[in-house]
């Protein structure tokens, strides 16, 4: 099946470069482009891509507002948003993840990493490196935006003890293989628990599950490191 991609970036040269790269792959194609957030939302509703490659900083409606609009639309529940950013760990990325983005890539990403990232989020997985995840959680994700809470603690009661355990380990940035090794189960079993937790909590993907784990209090962020 061909992965359909929408490019949202105000830099024409970058869009052209990404289009050439993506269209060169037999398993994916660019179906539309957008130069700002408002156009990105409109084009997403029109074309229903599998993945939106979304720049955060665009004129007018930015990528944050566009991501929130796409992820909040029930009719676009099958669309995954992959954030492009110059700064991999900052509050803007955290806000995008809170809104439902599936992960992020730096704009200096290699061609191979970009294509692999698109395939990863199209498959329903998140694109969060363990190091970046821990930093984001420590600095931003554990503190919800004013007036916003993704998951009240009581919502997690629908999960089994094993599902909560797996969710907590995923929130630490561990891969399925690492969780499987720790719990003495197979990676497939871990994947099953992750997907069941996502379904029960109505999480779009693993990235949102990670945010929920911290904002519900299932996992506590590590204490800040003392100044040297």
Residues 103 and 37 in one domain: yes
Q: What is the pLDDT of residues 48-104, one digit of tens each?
A: 999 999 998 888 888 999 999 999 999 998 999 998 887 655 677 778 887 888 888
Mean pLDDT of 130-142: 59
Q: What is the pLDDT of residues 168-178, one digit of tens each?
A: 998 887 888 88
Residues 108 and 163 in one domain: no
- For tokens 């052209």, the residue is 16
Tell me which long-range contacts 186-191 makes (C-beta under 8 A, separation of at least 24).
Answer: 190/166
The enclosing domain of 179 has a CATH number of: 1.10.10.10
Alpha helices, DSSP H, located in the chain: 12-23, 37-47, 63-72, 91-99, 111-122, 130-136, 161-171, 176-183, 187-201, 206-215
pTM of this prediction?
A: 0.75
Mean pLDDT across the chain: 84
Confidence class for position 207, pLDDT limits 50, 70, 90: confident
Residues 118 and 177 in one domain: no
Of residues 110 and 23, the one with the higher pLDDT is: 23
The reply to whether 174 falls in a domain is yes
Q: How far apart are CA 195 and CA 90, in angstroms?
A: 28
Residues 90 and 202 in one domain: no
Residues 7 and 114 in one domain: yes
The reply to whether 63 falls in a domain is yes
Residues 18 and 106 in one domain: yes
pLDDT at 166 over 90: yes
The reply to whether 228 falls in a domain is no
Q: How far apart are CA 175 and CA 130, in angstroms?
A: 8
**Domain range holding 181?**
150-215
The reply to whether 222 falls in a domain is no
Mean pLDDT of 22-47: 96
Mean pLDDT of 193-206: 89
For a pLDDT cut of 70, what percent of the chain falls above it? Answer: 83
The enclosing domain of 117 has a CATH number of: 3.40.50.2300
Confidence class for position 220, pLDDT limits 50, 70, 90: confident
Total structural domains within the chain: 2
Residues 22 and 121 in one domain: yes
Residues 117 and 20 in one domain: yes
Residues 122 and 205 in one domain: no
| DSSP, res 59 | S
The reply to whether 224 falls in a domain is no
Q: How far apart are CA 211 and CA 219, in angstroms?
A: 10
Closest CA to 47 of 103, 96, 2, 107: 2
Last residue of a domain, one of 71, 96, 127: 127
pLDDT at 224 over 70: no
Residues 55 and 104 in one domain: yes
pLDDT at 142 over 60: no
């Amino acid at each position: 099946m061909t992965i359909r991609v929408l490019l949202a970036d105000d830099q024409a040269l970058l869009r052209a470069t990404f289009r050439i790269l993506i269209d060169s792959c037999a398993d994916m194609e660019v179906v539309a482009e957008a130069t700002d957030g408002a156009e990105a939302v409109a084009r997403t509703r029109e074309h229903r891509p599998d993945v939106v490659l979304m720049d955060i900083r665009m004129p007018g409606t930015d990528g944050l507002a566009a991501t929130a609009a796409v992820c909040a639309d029930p009719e676009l529940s099958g669309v995954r948003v992959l954030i492009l950013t110059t700064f991999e760990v900052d509050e803007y990325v955290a806000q995008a993840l809170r809104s439902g983005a599936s992960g992020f890539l730096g704009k200096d990403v290699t061609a191979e990493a970009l294509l692999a990232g698109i395939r990863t989020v199209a498959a329903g997985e998140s694109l969060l490196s363990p190091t970046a995840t821990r930093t984001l959680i420590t600095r931003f994700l554990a503190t919800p935006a004013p007036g916003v809470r993704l998951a009240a603690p009581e919502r997690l009661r629908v999960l089994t003890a094993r599902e909560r355990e797996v969710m907590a380990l995923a929130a630490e940035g561990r891969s399925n293989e690492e969780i499987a090794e720790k719990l003495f189960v197979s990676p497939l079993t871990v994947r099953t628990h992750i997907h069941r937790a996502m379904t029960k909590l109505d999480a779009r993907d693993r990235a949102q599950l990670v945010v929920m784990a911290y904002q519900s209090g299932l996992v506590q962020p590590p204490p800040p490191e003392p100044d040297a």
